[in-house]
Structure 1
């Protein structure tokens, strides 16, 4: 453990902490990734796409509910505000899949 604390780069520790958070509570990790992607200047479309597409058939409903609890805005409202065009339509369609 001391080796981790004395490692010269913060990037290593940051990556390690992210991995531990993801293992410990993956839904919370994905919620944070979505929040950061949406609230980044220019929106991080790669992160949005990765989380939504890979989680749509598994636990996106739970992630969406957690997003609402943590951010006081629904995931679909946040996406509708920060995305445009076909990309927006695509993401919202995937979120709409949750209701069927």
Structure 2
């Protein structure tokens, strides 16, 4: 069985959401349909990073690590250190400008 840790970004508020799941596609749909209390009324959400694990315990460890970063800049640096290009990431609250990182 596969488990995923994912990072979503709101296209309206630019906030990040970090979570873990077994069914990534379904989970993102639930966030975007407003079924999840933690992300309701803050979307739409776009996936900016995901990674796969073989066990839930591995996924939970990374999820907690990322949530403990607290800082947007630390999360961005961590994603970039994994080789993900974030040229289209929104900067600031409500801004639609792209930031070249």
User: Does the TM-score normalized on the shorter chain lie above 0.5?
Assistant: no
Greater helix fraction, Structure 1 or Structure 2 = 1
Which protein, 1 or 2, shows the higher relative CO under an 8 Å CA cutoff with sep ≥ 6? 2
- TM-score, normalised by the number of residues in structure 1: 0.27
Greater strand fraction, Structure 1 or Structure 2 = 2
Question: Is the radius of gyration larger for structure 1 or structure 2?
Answer: 1
